[in-house]
């Protein structure tokens, strides 16, 4: 775990903090598709992402989903931060998008370190900033763009996160994450294919040029 830490956080945290993380953190590996947090859960530890990716989803009362953003290497979950400090329940659902490695830090350390380490404070503030920015982008998408543009953004985003131009998703799965219907997704994907921008297969989509 120490090597993981040094590889990913050595420029961010001072050595003493890396040591402490190594002492109290626990390594956790999750498989693609595995659920990390459910809406309403109490959060007891904070994740640092070593590798992989996690998708963060919002859900309304009817069970309709919406993808908010992805967490990647070096990220942490801003929602968790606030939940830990405020002792409130999770507002979001977190699911592993890829096989993912995390270091879990007990929440008690949170407050201790914010007083003790400047680098930790900066990291936490930086995380908040990134998450707020991503939320703004999500708002831009749903408020200012039509579904065809949102779909393109979604595919581009997915390609970037998975680092793979072959996207292994069904139309239904995409529809859930964009909060629309399968028929709409199929329709728009077909249009993109006819423009030569993607190729459609069963259970997967090949991105040609978006």
Select 44 or 190, whichever has its Cβ closest to DNA.
Answer: 190
Strand bridging mode 54-59 / 35-37: unpaired
Q: Which does 187 bind (CB under 5 to 8 A by kind): DNA, a copy of itself, none?
A: DNA
Strand bridging mode 65-71 / 204-207: unpaired
Among 44, 187, 208, 210, binds DNA (CB under 7 A): 187
Rounded to a whole number, what is the distance in angstroms from the first to the last CA of the chain? Answer: 38
Please, what is the minimum distance in Å from the beta carbon of residue 43 to a copy of itself?
Answer: 12
Distance of alpha carbon 114 from its chain centroid, rounded? 23
Two structure tokens written together for 199: 């190729």
- Binding status of residue 190 toward DNA by CB under 7 A: yes
Please, what is the minimum distance in Å from the beta carbon of residue 150 to DNA?
Answer: 7
Select 146 or 163, whichever has its Cβ closest to DNA.
Answer: 146
Q: How far apart are CA 100 and CA 119, in angstroms?
A: 25
Q: Which does 132 bind (CB under 5 to 8 A by kind): DNA, a copy of itself, none?
A: a copy of itself
- Binding status of residue 33 toward DNA by CB under 7 A: no
Residues near a copy of itself (CB under 8 A): 58, 60, 62, 64, 66, 68, 78-79, 81-82, 85-86, 88, 91-92, 114-115, 118, 121-122, 125-126, 128-129, 131-133, 135-136, 138-140, 142-144, 179
Phi–psi pair at 69, nearest 5 degrees? -170, 175
Q: Which does 60 bind (CB under 5 to 8 A by kind): a copy of itself, DNA, none?
A: a copy of itself
Q: Which does 147 bind (CB under 5 to 8 A by kind): DNA, a copy of itself, none?
A: DNA
Q: Residue 111 burial (CB < 10 Å; 0-12/13-18/19+)?
A: exposed
Which one, of 31, 18, 124, lies nearest residue 75 by Cα?
124
- The dihedral built from the CA positions of residue 33, 39, 44 and 47, taken in this order, carries a sign that is positive
Q: How far apart are CA 108 and CA 68, in angstroms?
A: 27
Q: Which does 102 bind (CB under 5 to 8 A by kind): a copy of itself, DNA, none?
A: none
Q: Which residues bind DNA (CB under 7 A)?
A: 146-148, 170-172, 179-184, 186-187, 189-190, 193, 200-204
């Amino acid at each position: 775990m120490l090597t993981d830490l040094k590889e990913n956080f050595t420029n961010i945290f001072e050595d003493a903090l890396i040591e402490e993380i190594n002492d109290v953190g626990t390594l956790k590996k999750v498989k693609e598709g595995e659920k990390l947090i459910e809406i309403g859960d109490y959060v007891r530890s904070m994740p640092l992402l070593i590798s992989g990716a996690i998708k963060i989803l919002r859900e309304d009362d009817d069970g309709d989903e919406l993808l908010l953003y992805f967490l990647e290497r070096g990220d942490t979950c801003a929602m968790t931060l606030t939940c830990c400090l405020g002792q409130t329940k999770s507002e979001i659902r977190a699911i592993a998008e890829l096989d993912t490695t995390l270091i879990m830090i007990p929440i008690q350390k949170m407050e201790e370190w914010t007083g003790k380490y400047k680098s930790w404070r900066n990291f936490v503030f930086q995380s908040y900033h990134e998450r707020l920015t991503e939320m703004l982008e999500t708002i831009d998408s749903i408020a200012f763009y039509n579904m065809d543009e949102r779909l393109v953004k979604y595919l581009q985003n997915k390609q970037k996160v998975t680092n793979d131009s072959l996207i292994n998703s069904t139309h239904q799965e995409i529809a859930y994450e964009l909060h629309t219907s399968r028929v709409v997704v199929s329709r728009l994907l077909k249009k993109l294919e006819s423009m030569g921008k993607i190729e459609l297969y069963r259970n997967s989509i090949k991105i040609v040029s978006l």
